[in-house]
Structure 1
Amino acid sequence: MRSRADTLLLFGATGDLAQRMLLPSLCALNAGGLLDPNLKIIGTARTAMDDAEFRNFARAALEKFLPAERRGPIAEFLNRLHYQPLDVTNPDSFTELAAKVGPEGKRVAIFLSTAPSLFEPTIRGLEAAGLAGDGSRIGLEKPLGLDLASSREINDAVASAFPERRIFRIDHYLGKETVQNLLALRFANILFEPLWNAQHIEHVQITVGETVGLEKRADFYDQTGALRDMVQNHMLQLLSLVAMEPPSSFESEAVRDEKVKVLRALRPVGRGESVTGQYRGGAVGGQIVPGYDEELGRESETETFVAIKAHVDNWRWKGVPFYLRTGKRMPKRVTEILVQFRDVPHSIFKGVQTKPNKLLIGIQPEENITLSLMAKVPGLDRDGIALREVPLDIAMPDAFSGKERRIAYERLLLDLIDMDQTLFVRRDEVEAQWAWVDKIRELWGEERLTPKTYAAGSWGPSAGIALAERDGVTWHE
């Protein structure tokens, strides 16, 4: 049952995520008239400041990270903002926070963007201060643990005060327009769904490439690595959306039920079905960049690249490999899904090589859909018909001119406020993801697998390319 919040609490309100994503998203929603006029927004963090100082802080973030044309009446938005310093280890801080919310704050949406070690004392403080009542809901930003055991500890701590129907686990990829459009593409078009199975699809590729290195996440990333940072959440969510059965409706439980079934059907990764890598110095975008060990300041066996051959063992996907690839210091920033269909069983065009149809779904940096088809080359063809692969492109900004390109967190924050869980991750989803990833790490330990080096600016180690090519598959680049 949905219940719109009257107060939004932002924990970690002075952090990088708040500056880059949360405050700009809320300002854009305000500019579009999508926030209730009476919604009260309260930021909280350890930093000592008052309302006026926080508004100045927010103004600077908006001027830096939100285009001017999307800000709307910025003074109106800033007047919504309030601030309360908070030390999660001090119970009195939560009493002061509750006073800031006020007695009229009956339905509170809480966005928790703090270190996982602070989750438990934060939950206890919220509950003791009366901020975890029936009208409250809580959004949890990753990371939610480093393995299944630690994830369960975090989820148990949150569940002690909030039932599952009021817990919103955030994967910001699910807020992206093209990710949501994948559901529309599959389930609103009869063209694709009858072909969306092992009989017609040869393989699927999912690539998430980053050009950046460690940036300001050195300590976190070195204890996490690419498998847990990207595969466990973003990539498995994309895989489950590609592979899921049609839900009975576009309601949160119906959609998430089908995603869980996919995650539970994932076959454990076998020997030789995964490759890890770690970048060394090279060039990205024409700039010389250092290697991982140089950035970190010490040697490490943490992987910055992972390639996996995965299988979904059910009727729809039996025998269809899903190739997953992600890495840092790649040649370009890209997130895309390639669905490779099977070739025609018999070509009537003698001496002409046909190519299988491909559906390419671009998620970032550009949101687009490309369907590759075989078409006749114009001409009289006295020596026989000539065919060529032709792309049909749907660039989302062109297809929907006049529509604003929104930040993924705009959708997610609005759904948190409105208490719509469709684009959030349920506990059993998280645990199914961790169970699969933990088995991969166990296998790496048994094999004593260490990352192979690759030059920054390349598509990873040669073994990652070979993982697909030995099956006759070429990675899309």
Structure 2
Amino acid sequence: MAPARVAPGINPLRDPRDKRLPRIAGPSALVLFGVTGDLATKKLMPAIYDLANRGLLPPGFSLVGFARRDWADQDFGKIVYEAIKARSRTPFREEVWRSLAEGIRFVPGTFDDDSAFDLLAATLAELDEMRGTGGNTAFYLSIPPGFFSTVCQQLERAGLSTPRAGSWRRVVIEKPFGHDLTSARELNRIVESVFPPDAVFRIDHYLGKETVQNLLALRFANQIFEPVWNSNYVDHVQITMAEDIGIGARAGYYDGIGAARDVIQNHLLQLLALTAMEEPVSFDASGLRLEKEKVLGAVRIPKDLSSGTARGQYAAGWQGGEQVVGYLQEKGVPTTSTTETYAAVRLDIETRRWAGVPFYLRTGKRLGKRVTEIAVVFKKAPHLPFDDTATEELGQNAVVIRVQPDEGVTLRFGAKVPGAQMEVRDVTMDFGYGRAFTESSPEAYERLILDVLLGEPPLFPRHEEVELSWQILDPIEKFWAAKGAKPDQYQPGGWGPKSADEMMRRDGREWRLP
């Protein structure tokens, strides 16, 4: 076997015992199903290059594309090259690209084509011989869930799901993890009949974002937050994921799925679990997942879902100086569609720490700005001895964790206004990643792909978390479906339907403006 060359950026003298040094994956290959999709070209391929450019991929790393295209290896290589040049985060370096390109292969075929998977097996065996991948392979299923079963069965038939002694085989699954509890359980059954549970990596790219991980550091590495992170001091928590765009060309996927299934079931419930969880015994996969599962198991939906939830569809109107169409006028959306593009829900967590503290989750398209944040809003001071302070000028203290964009943390508190009078007004202290650190934050998929190759699963939800999340959302979806009403219309560029504001007002609260 020809010796593999050391990839640029890799230090062969690195001491693996020094945990402060970058984690570098061992010999491996990544097979990418769905290479013609937006996710592959916009996120996955650039992330792979950025990992190589940072010296975090192993010598001889290989990338294999699989699709129904009449491409040769060089054709696929050109697709990867163009995706990298257009979207990579780190500067393009010719020597890094050449090293990466030597390990790029393409296998043409359909998911039901036995000969294509036999060719895939032969290609991986050849790469093992030429590039020294060690038989270690991750299969990334960036494909519709309806094909998961076929692909997994083909991998098993071709002998690709079972590693030889001393090597590993892993499968990566993109969301959605089913469309309800029943389908999620069936999907888990199919995948885990081929791959053992610890070889299944379910991707939620939000969990790879630096700010989401910083939430754990904020809570558990600092003594100042833990004493007040409970119902004695916290009034409520708001978790928001807002987009300022419409569905674009995603009608085929989005209609019939909706905002709640697309975002609340996975992203926002994961953020809720990380916000509310107890400190784990350790931050390995088992410890972190156990505490998240405890939180999700303690979540309770409102008894009156008509007053504790809200849903809407964006209407036609003006946004950012241009006329935009409403959801029902989007190409591919039926004019009778009842799919929501906005969803909000109040959830409660029945634990000693959070009893009586509502968690408000909301997500929507065509809203005022693109932002994802967690706002922990504290109770007002029980007594304010400041005669010159107007009540409306002094709000509630809050810790706001900005997940995207402009990742960072803001602390809101009251401060005296300069002058002779004792007047107090809200001010903010702000920490931004881009201002505090010289190195830019890696993209979420960089961290997650590296974790897959390293076999480190803490940021990947296991099937218990997925099923608990569906148990929370399923009754809400069934209530909306039984009600039969169309979602409330809301204007583009605003912050959702009036019913969402009314939901908050009934609790004596209001949504914060990000």
TM-score (norm 2): 0.89
Distance 1:14 1:283 in 2: 33
Question: Does the 8 Å CA contact 1:5/1:109 hold for their aligned counterparts?
Answer: no
Partner SS for 2:257: helix
- The answer for the alignment partner of 1:360 in structure 2 is 400
Q: CA deviation at 1:468?
A: 1.1
Query: Is 1:408 aligned to 2:430, yes or no?
Result: no
- Asked if residue 274 in structure 1 is aligned to residue 309 in structure 2, the reply is yes
1:59 CA drift (Å): 1.2
* 1:121 lines up with 2:143 in the alignment: no
Q: CA deviation at 1:398?
A: 0.7
**Which amino acid counterpart does residue 121 of structure 1 have in structure 2?**
T
CA contact 1:210–1:328 (8 Å) conserved in 2: yes
Q: Distance in 1 between matches of 2:501 and 2:115?
A: 56
Instruction: State the Cα distance separating 1:351 from its structure 2 match.
Output: 4.5
Residue 332 of structure 2 corresponds to residue 298 of structure 1: no
Letter in 2 for 1:455: Q
1:127 aligns to what SS in structure 2? helix
The yes-or-no answer on 1:150 pairing with 2:187 is no
Letter in 2 for 1:361: I
Deviation at 1:41, TM superposition (A): 1.4
- Tell me which of 289, 294, 308 is aligned to 1:261: 294
Name the structure 2 match of 1:472: 508
What RMSD, in angstroms, separates the aligned Cα atoms of the two structures? 1.7
**1:293 to partner: Cα distance:** 0.8
> Aligned partner of 1:313: which letter?
E
Secondary structure of the corresponding residue to residue 250 of structure 1? coil
- Please state whether the residue corresponding to 2:80 is helix, strand or coil: helix
Q: Secondary structure at the match of 2:267?
A: helix
Q: Count residues in correspondence.
A: 472
TM-score (norm 1): 0.95
The amino acid across from 1:11 in the alignment is F
Q: Deviations over 1:350-385 (max 9, x none)?
A: 453553211111111220110012222334x3xx42
Aligned to 2:436: 399
Assess, with a 3 A threshold, how the Cα gap between structure 1 residues 421 and 65 changes in structure 2: closer, same or farther.
same
SS in structure 1 at match of 2:143: coil
Q: Kindly tell me: are residues 424 and 70 of structure 1, through their superposed partners in 2, closer, same or farther at Cα, counting changes over 3 Å?
A: farther
Shift of 1:152: 1.1
CA–CA separation in structure 1 for the residues paired with 2:288 and 2:158: 34
Pair 27,308 (structure 1): closer, same or farther in 2 beyond 3 Å: same
* Counterpart residue number, 1:307: 344
Aligned-pair distance for 1:449?
Answer: 4.0
Cα deviation for residue 89 of structure 1 reads 0.5
The worse-fitting range, judged by mean Cα deviation, of 276-285 and 192-201 is 276-285
Structure 2 gaps, min length 5: 1-23, 129-133
Match of 2:15 in 1: none
- 2:486 matches 1:450: yes
Distance across 2 between alignment mates of 1:283 and 1:84:
46
Indicate yes or no: 2:119 matched with 1:92. no
- Between the aligned partners of 2:293 and 2:486, the Cα distance in structure 1 is 31
**Could you tell which deviates more after superposition, 407-416 or 284-293?**
284-293
The more displaced of 44-53 and 426-435 is: 44-53
Matched, 1:34 2:56: yes
CA deviation after TM superposition for structure 1 residue 35, in Å: 0.4
- Greater CA drift, 80-89 or 423-432: 80-89
Corresponding position of 1:50:
72
Whether 1:231 aligns to 2:253 is no
Contact between 2:27 and 2:58, CA under 8 Å: does it hold in 1? no
Aligned to 1:76: 99
Aligned-partner Cα distance in 2 for 1:67–1:423: 22
Distance 2:93 2:205 in 1: 21
Match of 2:274 among 241, 257, 271: 241
Identity, in percent, stands at 43
Q: Is the 8 A contact 1:277 1:305 kept in 2?
A: yes
State yes or no: 1:434 paired with 2:470.
yes
In 2: Cα distance, 1:293 partner to 1:52 partner: 42
Shift in Å, 1:431:
0.3
Moved more, 4-13 or 72-81: 72-81
Q: Secondary structure at the match of 2:293?
A: helix
Greater RCO between the two (CA within 8 Å, min separation 6)?
1
Q: Where does structure 1 lack aligned partners over 5 or more consecutive residues?
A: none
Deviation by residue 1:142-182 (Cα, 9 ceiling, x = unmatched):
12211111111111110011111111000000011101110
